[in-house]
Chains A and B, each alone.
Chain A
Amino acid sequence: MNVPTLIRHRLAPFAALAMIILLLPFFFPSAYYYRVAALVLIFALAALGLNLLMGFAGQVSLGHAGFFGIGGYATAIGPTYLGLPSWLSIIAGAAVSSLIAFLVGRPILRLKGHYLAVSTLGFGLLVAIVLNNEARWTGGPDGMSVPRLALFDWSIRGSDTWYWIAGGTFLLGAILARNLVDSPTGRALRAIHDSEVAARVLGVDVARKKLTIFIISAIYASVAGSYLALFNGHITPDIAGFLRSIELATMVVLGGMGSIIGSLVGAAVLVVLPQTLTALHDYEHMVLGLILMGFMIFLRQGIVPGLIRAFARMRT
């Protein structure tokens, strides 16, 4: 293959992303930057899952932090009470999230518009309430500590290691997402976004497709939640709370609904911003609210699609 063909290859953007992830640490003055970048990548993974649901399939989930929390608490409860190794707990968490997504999704996804929005919100809050109340398993409002991920006797706690783990997982998640979009199911989901009735008369099993993407997005959130818990070494019910769900949704909106790279951009903005504005820590909620409002009113398609459109217009 010659160079132009390689550049136009389906996976070229991800090769570029991989390059960026590999080279970025050369610009990190300290370990702190590894930490921030790792957090960005972890949240980007969760946002990517939500983006598949909201941006491509056109559904909405304002309770997605529920799955984030399930994945996180799986890595806390698994090793502490069930004797499961951490890596297995990540998988167990994803399995539990899938099951719950399946059970909850079937009835909920029949709803549309604000009914769907509020019922997903209610679901997320229910998860947070359970995590808050079942102190015997979850440590209640104060949370519990999360044993560090251990692989072959090597306890993983360094920010740099987590940067590579999160980076690799996000890259993998992004490639899988791209694959899905370029497939019959991806086209069916995008069709559902634009016209459910037309998709239906073309033979698309709309309910089943929606459920499938709901489960996939739950898995993304669950794995990300597991990573966050293992990275921090501690977890509280806030991880599944209302604000966390809205943060995730804002990342998707900000970065661009339907844009894989947008998930990374949205996560980057919402993770880095509070870090740079530590003086303005008290204003965190106000800023989050303003960002969400601002983008939903004025720039609904988000940063990345907005930029692409601006470039396209500049070229013509």
Chain B
Amino acid sequence: MTILALEQLSIAFGGVRAVDGINLTVEPGVVFSIIGPNGAGKTTLFNLISGLYTPQAGRVRFAGEDVTGFAPDQLARRGLSRTFQNLQIFYHMTVVENVMVGRHRHETTGILSELLHLPSVARQNRSTRLAAQAALARVGLAAEAERSAGALSYGALKRLEIARALASEPKILLLDEPAAGCNAVETQELVGVIRAIVQGGITVILVEHDMRLVMNISDRIHVLAHGRTLAEGTAAEIRSNPAVIEAYLGIHGSQEAAHAIG
């Protein structure tokens, strides 16, 4: 069963059709990438999927259920998680506390027991902390757990967001330009992290500009242009699609793609 299906999804901002009639389906357990030039509507599409925007037309189906127009926290409770292009880190909290917030949907304590710090709350805090530390380990940040989040490097913060999203044990993980601002080494580490995530059974949907990463890791690629679908297929198909090459990869991009695959 497809884990995510978009049907004729559309939204316009003041006359500009940011996303225009998008159809796509995502099978579980794959890395599905969405690419396209700036302004193609990729982040808007992400915001639509993750409930930050409400579509003006079309449907979103998550594991068969119609979740069109659902609020982000409702989607989170169903197993959808995401990272942000412009980091949304909780800078006033420590690294591990950031990830602990990711456990929120699994925490069951009520306000009264929290005020009284009943043993159930202490137990919850402990198990949440353990799960958070495990998530940090998966992205290689275990050593930074007690540091203030504001002290971390940009690349580390990107991984922190991933750890935080992972901590919620999602079925789908939306990664919004995870390689943006990362150097070649960090990007390569990212490949390993994403592969490990998928091996753990999570579906990863990626918005990315870094063609090397995209071609390397994607099972399917969906190309957007001006809010509409230009093409969809495997990395090899997209790489050799003339329309895509011409419009979006350009000369340098297609060379990079050839390096990545060949």
Q: Which positions in A face B, CB cutoff 8 Å?
A: 176, 179-180, 182-188, 190-191, 193-195, 197-206, 212, 258
Smallest CB-CB separation from B161: which chain A residue?
A: A198
Binding site for A on B (CB under 8 A): 50-52, 71-73, 75-77, 81-82, 84, 88-93, 97, 100-105, 107, 109, 111, 114-117, 121, 124-125, 128, 164-165, 168
Q: Is the CB of B88 within 8 A of A198?
A: yes
Q: A197 to chain B: which residues have CB within 8 Å?
A: 52, 72, 84, 88
CB B178 to nearest CB in A, in angstroms, measures 15
**Contact pick for A190, options B93, B109, B116, CB 8 Å:** B93
State how many angstroms separate the Cβ of B1 from the closest Cβ of chain A.
23
Roughly how many angstroms separate A182 CA and B116 CA in the complex, as a whole number? 11
Within the complex, what minimum Cβ distance (angstroms) separates A182 from chain B? 7
Q: How many Å from the CB of B148 to the closest CB on chain A? A: 11
**A195 proximity list for chain B (CB < 8 A):** 88-90
Q: Is the CB of A203 within 8 A of B90?
A: no
Contacts of B71 in A (CB 8 A): 200
Q: How far is the CB of B43 from chain A (nearest CB, A)?
A: 13
Give the CA-CA distance A183 to B110 in the complex, in Å.
10
Given contacts A182-B125, A193-B92, contact A202 B115 (CB under 8 A): no
15 contacts between A and B (CB under 8 A): A179-B114, A179-B121, A183-B124, A185-B111, A187-B100, A191-B93, A194-B90, A195-B90, A198-B164, A199-B104, A200-B52, A201-B52, A202-B81, A202-B104, A203-B105
Q: Say whether A183 contacts B97, CB under 8 Å.
A: no
Residues of A within 8 A of B93 (CB): 187, 190-191, 194
Q: How many whole Å from B47's CB to the nearest CB in chain A?
A: 10
Find out whether the CB atom of A200 lies under 8 angstroms from the CB atom of B72.
yes
State A212–B50 Cα separation when bound (angstroms).
25
Q: Is the CB of A194 within 8 A of B111?
A: no
Indicate which residue in A176, A179, A180, A188 contacts B104 across the interface (CB closer than 8 Å).
A188
